[in-house]
Amino acid sequence: MIFEVFLGVLAGFAVGLIPGFHVNNVLSFLKSDLVIVSASIAFVFASLISSAFLGSGENFVVLPPVQRILLKRKGILVLSKTINTLMFSAFLLPFFFYLFFLILGVFSFFKKLFFFFLFGALIGFLKHGLKALVVILLSSGLGLICLNKDLLFPLLAGFFASPTLLASIFMVRSFPKQVEVFSKEVCYRHSFLAGFLSLFFSLIPAVSSSIVAVIAKSFFGLEEDDFIIFTGAVSYYYMVFSFAAYSFFGITRSGSAAYLTSKPGLLSLLGLLIFTTIVSGYLALFFLKKAFTVLYFFGRKLFSFVFLLLLFLVFFHHGFFGLLVFFTSTCIGLLCQELEVPRHVCMASLIVPTMLLIY
Amino acid sequence: MRKAFLFLGFAVLGLFLSYYFSDDRYEKVDPKALAENCYGRVELDGRLLRVFYSKKGNLIGVVSSNGYHFLVLLNGYNYSKGDLLTVKGFASKYSGSCWVFPKQVKLNDF
């Protein structure tokens, strides 16, 4: 059992450290539930590190907060703070699981409000003006074409992974070397806030953790450091709540939960999540500096390799039509960068079809 | 701005081509494989074992194929117990059962 957990942590970590890669891409190779849960948690930690390097450089029109932190040389400091916060969040799980169980009990009531939540999110995107409307129209059109065609991988990889990979491959100049100072600080406020917001938003289809972070930013005025810590915490809670939803009521809210072969018991799930979080957290802290050094030197080659790997995987799983969808979503993602529209607006590709299905 | 127009042009072209080439192809699946990995666009042959209305008023059929049972949403169709059916649709796991949400259901009467 312990062997399976450690194997899962290592697998999740290895996948998470590859920029632009998701644990969902390898779930079919992981045969045991223990390995899937531990790999998914470890992935959340490792992807914090690798995502910092995606798209870093000075040719970006709008720099995401993580890259602004890198330019200020505070990458290791902020990411270590994020990892500490995630490790603390593991100890809040019994409390949040209890609340989550209560909310799931009245799930059917919330379901009726999903349409309005999603509509509100679309209206929120429009605050970026007419340019956002163009992106919404294009991405929702592509989302509707891909509806019921099992093409989520090329669709989302094109919107979110490949534009940043391409920008990273062709970047003008890399970011400066980071100050090697680790933080022991824990952001209790962000951990609680992310937990409470994820309780509700993780149940709404097509609302990603980045959208939750943007909502929190508008209401609570999160600064760059806070935004990164908060986004990390929301991603973590999204993952653990997806397992909790499957454990309580058999509802699958993530690719990882969908791959589980049996419903895990609540206590064993809690124990496994807390244990895996602590192990993954310490592993992430241990590898943080080393990963930065490796990615710093091999970044561009690694990004090129990952981009080619993505192309191969899309073609292998979805054929020429998948490649066409990947090409189109990549163009929309690149258009976002050029128009200075945040890329989470591309989530309209999932939001609009979901609204139509609910309606 | 020139780059933005270039990406916009490619995106519109890609969208048009995606729409043009998006076909409704369903893969004929082995019932055992479908029961184990209930996901994707599938074509399934089976016998209608039971038809019932859910609490929300949806017409649901239990289709049996090679001993494996699948739930099929049959709103708008008028089939009865014992009919041999060919169901083309999207398979997905929901509440512990394998569902097929059909695009097309035909009576298999040969």
Q: What is the ipTM of this complex?
A: 0.71
- The tokens for A205 are 């289809």
d(CA A175, CA A69): 10
- Other C-beta atoms lying within 10 Å of the C-beta of residue B33: 11
Q: Which of A38-42, A58-62, B59-63 has the lowest mean pLDDT?
A: A58-62
Alpha carbon A213 to its chain's center: 11
- The answer, yes or no, to whether residue B3 has pLDDT greater than 50, is yes
* Average pLDDT rounded to a whole number, residues A349-357: 83
- Other C-beta atoms lying within 10 Å of the C-beta of residue A109: 9
Please report where in the chains the tokens 């970590």 appear, as a residue: A13
Question: pLDDT confidence of B72, banded at 50, 70, 90?
Answer: very high
Contact partners, residue A267, CB within 8 Å, separation at least 6: none
Query: How many domains, chain A?
Result: 1
Asked if A335's CB is within 8 angstroms of B11's CB, the reply is yes
φ, ψ for residue A102, nearest 5 deg: -65, -45
- The answer, yes or no, to whether residue A214 has pLDDT greater than 70, is yes
Asked if B39's CB is within 8 angstroms of A150's CB, the reply is yes
- The answer, yes or no, to whether residue B91 has pLDDT greater than 50, is yes
| Longest Cα–Cα distance in chain B | 63
d(CA A55, CA A334): 12
Q: Which of A242, A275, A273 is nearest to A259 (CA)?
A: A242
B interface test, pick of A59, A150, A263 with most B CB neighbours within 10 Å: A150
* Average pLDDT rounded to a whole number, residues A201-222: 77
Give the pLDDT score at A95: 92
Asked if A324's CB is within 8 angstroms of B19's CB, the reply is no
Q: Could you write out the DSSP letters of every residue in A336-358?
A: HHHHT--GGGGGHHHHHHHHHHH
Q: Residue A91 to residues A50, A86, A191, A294: CA-CA distances in angstroms? A: 25, 9, 10, 32
Please report where in the chains the tokens 């045991």 appear, as a residue: A32
Instruction: Write the pLDDT tens digit of every residue in A13-44.
Output: 888 887 767 787 777 677 788 888 899 999 98
Residue A259: which domain range? 2-358
- The answer, yes or no, to whether residue B16 has pLDDT greater than 60, is yes
Asked if A321's CB is within 8 angstroms of B14's CB, the reply is no
- Chain A: residue whose CA lies nearest to B14: A328
Q: Between A53 and A228, whose confidence is greater?
A: A228
* Average pLDDT rounded to a whole number, residues B25-54: 86
Give the pLDDT score at A60: 42
- The answer, yes or no, to whether residue A172 has pLDDT greater than 80, is no
Instruction: Out of B7, B12, B21, name the one closest to residue A338 (CB).
Output: B7
B53's enclosing H/E stretch is strand B39-53
- CA neighbours within 13 Å on the CB side: how many for A180? 9
Question: pLDDT confidence of B62, banded at 50, 70, 90?
Answer: very high
- The tokens for A261 are 């072969």
Contact partners, residue A300, CB within 8 Å, separation at least 6: A168, A169, A171
Asked if A149's CB is within 8 angstroms of B41's CB, the reply is yes
Give the torsion sign (CA, B74, B75, B79, B80): positive
Give the pLDDT score at B42: 87
Give the pLDDT score at A84: 92
Residue type, B59: L
d(CA A101, CA A296): 43
Residues from chain A that touch B18, judged by Cβ atoms under 8 A, are: 142, 145-146, 321, 324-325, 328
